[in-house]
Amino acid sequence: MPITTVNIPEDLLKYIDSLVAKGVARSKQEVIIKALQNYRKFHMHEWHDPLIIIRGFRRALINQRSLNEILKKFSEEELYEIGKKMGFTLKDSCLASFGVDSTNRENWELALKLLEDNGWGIFKIEKDKKNKEKLRIIIYNPFFPKKLLHGYLETALGVKFSLIPTVEDVAILETVTE
């Protein structure tokens, strides 16, 4: 790895040192590399304070409690329909940013990684052990309600899912074969 020397303001250097001291990172190098990786991943070079622009689309940060206050007024069916309408945003983002169709199963990993990178949860795709045609998408610690994610992923991935009932903080969607 090439060595680069940069001048870092003292307050930022103290901050980096505090992260290392707390055990958040093992070294200053790790902090700086991770920061640059996130700078690239979130397209921070496109941001125009106070606007957050990622891959050409404006974003906003909202905490989960505020979001839940907005969404609690909707029924399960309304959340599903809202999700179906929202799902077009992932389709558009995949096409605009990467030139890929999110409805093609070969691109599902990329599409779900975009959601994961934006804090929607941890996504895992599994094949059904009994029926190889069926797939499950498991979302750990989902940011949005399960019914909203159900509708969202149906539109974004272009497939019908059934939502498996769970009591844990996990959403399980299974492809419906006809």
Q: Can you give the pLDDT at residue 107?
A: 96
C-alpha to C-alpha distance for 12 and 23, rounded to whole angstroms: 17
Are both 128 and 163 inside the same structural domain? Answer: yes
In a domain, 124, yes or no: yes
Please provide the average confidence, as pLDDT, over all residues in the chain: 91
C-alpha to C-alpha distance for 83 and 56, rounded to whole angstroms: 21
pLDDT tens, residue by residue, 26-70? 999 999 999 999 888 877 887 777 888 877 778 888 899 999 999
pLDDT tens, residue by residue, 122-158? 999 998 888 878 899 999 999 999 999 999 999 999 9
Are both 90 and 134 inside the same structural domain? Answer: yes
Counted domains in the chain: 2
pTM of the model: 0.79
Are both 125 and 51 inside the same structural domain? Answer: no
In a domain, 31, yes or no: yes
How far is residue 178 CA from its own chain's centroid?
29
Are both 157 and 79 inside the same structural domain? Answer: yes
Q: Can you give the pLDDT at residue 178?
A: 64
Structural domain span for residue 78: 64-175
In a domain, 4, yes or no: no
